[in-house]
Chains A and B, each alone.
Chain A
Amino acid sequence: MRVLSRGSGNRRDDAAHRPGASLRCLGLIAAITVGSGRAEGQVAIEVDVAPAEAAAADTTAPAAPEDHTPAVPAAEEAALTPEAAARQQIEQMAAQYEPMLMRLLQDDLELLRTLHGDLPVEARRAIVAAGEEAVKKGALAFSEAMNTPHVVPAPPQGVAGGFFGAVGRAFGLPIPEEPARRAEGAEKAEARKKLIDPCQLVSDAVAASLVEQIGEEHGADFRDQLSRREKRSRAATVRRLVGILDDELFLSAKQREAIEAAIGEKWNEGLAMALDHQMEINGRKIYPGLPYERVLPHLTPAQQSKLGDGEQSREIFGSNRQGRLQSKFFRRANLAQQAERDPWWFE
């Protein structure tokens, strides 16, 4: 009898669950039991067992080497601590973000060349070098931010502040902040500090280098253009979002105008997410990042009912700072055109 038992973990084995299988299993157990008492055995039973399994069955036999796992990758894997593996992943992802950020740098350089087409050669080289350094730094920072799990704090259980909190609230007294909440707040603030906007980092590096090379006045000019470009991009995002709502809700011209203004006043990067990540839950479209509270007052009751209150979109991707950062990065990177390196900068 040939037994090829491959460790199937917790998988249910069809053969073992067929009718009669238990009886056959019993037979197998019996045969092995008999085998173990071979000194007194009366019946000849020949058991042809594969080496590894036989070794497993016979505890006295030396352990057979397992041949199904390649030795080298296992060793490498074992050598990587969880921290090192996480770092490796961050670096791999950073390498993927670098070309995207490089396109953003090219955008900035294009604008700069339009504004200051007479930059001296040394200044150009220095600006590009600063920009490229920022690209590397930004890609790494972005990758780190994306690999940091965003933890949505669980809603507080029980009464905030405990008994004294409840009494204080009843009498309108100030409620002392709990140490746990303070710690949580500090932790969140710390995590927030770590989030670096890679797009801003690159533009800032180019602007700073420009100031260093040719003076504050030109740097201000460049910064002003960057800020106007960003404003235009945001306005276009808002217009597009309102257009999508219009398709859905038949907004009037006045409503479009009012909603555009309302959303534009409270810009958040998560808005761009609403353009590309619309979802439908229970037959209703939801727009992550859309400030529903700013849109709803401008709608008729029928339109409000169709749009809903956005409750389901609150905690969806794009509603936290990490998501917004990501949203901005991809909003900019998707618009940036792949262009060949402009030799003018590298003369």
Chain B
Amino acid sequence: MVVRMMPSTTAISQAGAWRMALVVVSLLGALLAGRPLQGSDDTVGEEKEAQQQQNQFQTIALDQQMQQMLGDGSGRGIEVVRTKAMAHLELEIDSLDEACALSDAQRDKLTLAARLEAAAAMQLFEAFQRRYSGRTVDFQTREGQETWQQFHRELNEIQRATSRSGRARHLPGRIVGSLLDDRQRDAWRAEATSRRASQWRRHMDGGLAMLESSVGMTDRQHEAIVALLLEDPPRIDMGRAREMFGDNNPFLCWYALSRLDQDRLEAIFDARQWKRVGNIVRQGEQWQPQIDTLKLTEE
């Protein structure tokens, strides 16, 4: 719509004088303030805002990420990792003490080993922190995406390397056997065996829950299959299996089923059920190469 006002060459009427003054002031103001206001400014503003928001999600400061992922966002940074690692190792020594009644000297040696272990873990984390500190990832670029993936890969690697679940391989775990006397060693082995059995039972639970859903197992059948699996558990490194697949992996159970005496296993089920169980056993068999590749078999 065009609004037109006709100019007048005659004298300005008194009634219109104030309007004229306002126009002059406003035009001067507009000139002094730079370019005139444009309708598209509003749109440009929104676009800028949206762009800023988008950029905010498209770039990530890795320092901030490390704070959140390692330092719980508490602002204490990587120090949290040290405190946590040490507290965890101390709990482990407490547990050993509870089972084996450690002497003061044994406890001191294990504590020292735990400190060295925590320090080694910290070195890994600190090197990681140095590599990525001050860097920003831009997800819009290929390089940014690759950096992000590499960042996570390395972090996972370090977390796995320093993970408590692989405790048999950490320093206190490696020296404990030589520190204990025979009585203590027996108690320690009994604890380790019991823990291993409980870990294996969880994998079994995961696999059997799915199996019974597929084939409608009765209670008697369930008991029979549990007895078979407990009689001959696979020699899997449970700590490492947990790192790789969590604590409740059905495939490990199915893999174990594939290693059982198949005649005894078949005898548990009716013909209809066995057809389906057979399929599951075959899936379990296919896990052998992966277990070999990942070196999950206990030495």
A14-B218 contact given A23-B32, A41-B19, A249-B91, CB 8 Å threshold: no
A240 contacts B248, C-beta separation under 8 Å: yes
Interface presence of B40 (CB below 8 A)? yes
Residues of B within 8 A of A214 (CB): none
Given contacts A20-B32, A303-B91, contact A14 B44 (CB under 8 A): yes
Question: Which residues of A are found within 8 Å of B217, using beta-carbon distances?
Answer: 111, 114
Contact yes or no, A15 B164, CB < 8 A: no
Known: A47-B2, A282-B74. A14 touches B29 (CB 8 A): no
CB of B95 within 8 A of CB of A250, answer: yes
Contacts of A15 in B (CB 8 A): 37-38, 41-42, 44-45
Cα(A114)–Cα(B274), bound, Å: 12
Main secondary structure on chain B at its contact with chain A?
A: helix
The answer to the question of B289 belonging to the interface, with a C-beta cut-off of 8 Å to chain A, is no
> Is A153's CB within 8 Å of the partner chain B?
no
Q: Kindly state whether residue A44 has any CB partner on chain B within 8 Å.
A: yes
Q: Which of A227-245 contact B (CB under 8 A)?
A: 228-229, 232-233, 236, 239-240, 242-244
Stretch in B3-11, B59-67, B147-155 touching the partner: B3-11
With A42-B16, A43-B5, A256-B198 already in contact, the answer to whether A302 and B270 are too (CB < 8 A) is: no
Number of B positions contacting A (CB below 8 A): 77
A45 to B126, CA, bound (A): 69
A246 CB within 8 Å of chain B = yes
Which residue from chain B places its CB closest to the CB of A44 in the assembled complex? Answer: B7
Inter-chain contacts of A8 with B (CB < 8 A):
42, 46
**Which A residues touch B242, using CB under 8 A?**
247
A2-B39, A4-B39, A232-B222 known; A23+B216 contact, CB < 8 A = no
- Within 8 Å of chain B (Cβ to Cβ): is A31? yes
Interface flag for B15 (CB, 8 Å): yes
Q: Nearest chain A CB to B195's CB is how many angstroms away?
A: 7
Tell yes or no: B160 within 8 A of A by CB.
no
A259 to B276, CA, bound (A): 36
Per the bound structure, the CA–CA distance linking A44 and B2 in Å amounts to 12
Using CB atoms, name the residue of chain A closest to B204.
A236
The reply to whether the CB of B230 lies closer than 8 angstroms to some CB of chain A is no
Please tell me which stretch of A121-129, A178-186, A322-330, A334-342 contacts chain B, meaning at least 4 of its Cβ atoms lie within 8 angstroms of it.
Answer: A334-342
Query: Given A8-B46, A26-B25, A337-B213: A20 and B94 within 8 A (CB)?
Result: no
Q: Is B199 an interface residue (CB 8 A)?
A: yes
Q: Which of A232, A252, A306 meets B87, CB within 8 Å?
A: A306
Q: Nearest-CB distance from A15 to chain B (Å)? A: 3
Instruction: Say how far B230's CB is from chain A's closest CB, in angstroms.
Output: 13
A279 to nearest B CB, angstroms?
A: 12
Interface 1/0s, chain B 67-103, versus A by CB < 8 A? 0000010100000100010010011101100110000
Q: Is A300 a contact of B98 with CB atoms below 8 Å? A: yes
The chain B residue with its CB closest to the CB of A301 is: B94
Q: Is the CB of B95 within 8 A of A251?
A: yes
For A244, the chain B residues whose CB sits under 8 A away are 247
In the complex, chain A residues 90-119 whose Cβ is within 8 Å of any chain B Cβ:
107, 109-115, 117
- Min distance, Cβ A264 to any Cβ of chain B, angstroms: 14
- The reply to whether A11 and B213 contact each other, CB–CB distance below 8 Å, is no
A229, B219: Cβ atoms closer than 8 Å: yes
- Within 8 Å by CB of A41, from B8, B25, B74, B214, lies B8
Q: Which of A282-296 contact B (CB under 8 A)?
A: 282-283
User: B273 interface residue, CB < 8 Å from A?
Assistant: yes
A199 to nearest B CB, angstroms? 13
Cβ < 8 Å to A, chain B residues 13-29:
13, 15-16, 19-20, 22-23, 25-27, 29
Cβ of B36 and Cβ of A1 under 8 Å apart? Answer: yes
- Chain B residue at smallest Cβ distance from A32: B3
A13 contacts across to B, CB distance below 8 A: 41-42, 45
Give A195-236 interface residues, CB cut-off 8 Å to B.
225, 228-229, 232-233, 236
A23 CB to closest chain B CB (Å) equals 4
Task: Assess the B30–A24 pair: CB atoms within 8 A.
Answer: yes
B143 at the interface (CB under 8 A from A): no
A67 interface residue (CB < 8 Å to B)? no
The reply to whether A302 and B42 form a contact with Cβ atoms under 8 Å apart is no
Q: Does B272 contact A (CB under 8 A)?
A: yes
Alpha-carbon gap, A31 to B216, bound state (A): 83
Is A30 part of the contact surface with B, judged by Cβ < 8 Å? yes
In the bound assembly, the distance between CA atoms of A229 and B106 in angstroms comes to 47
Is there contact, CB below 8 Å, between B42 and A4?
A: yes
| CB contact between A110 and one of B4, B13, B48, B216 (< 8 Å): that residue | B216
Q: Does B1 contact A (CB under 8 A)?
A: yes
Ranked nearest first, the 6 interchain pairs of A and B with the lowest CB-CB distance are A20-B33, A15-B41, A110-B216, A27-B26, A4-B39, A14-B45
Provide 27 A-B residue pairs closer than 8 Å at the C-beta atoms, listed in order of the A residue. Answer: A3-B39, A8-B42, A14-B48, A15-B42, A16-B45, A30-B19, A30-B22, A34-B5, A43-B7, A44-B4, A44-B5, A51-B1, A55-B1, A61-B1, A113-B272, A114-B215, A115-B218, A232-B219, A240-B205, A247-B164, A250-B91, A252-B98, A253-B194, A253-B198, A256-B198, A283-B74, A300-B94
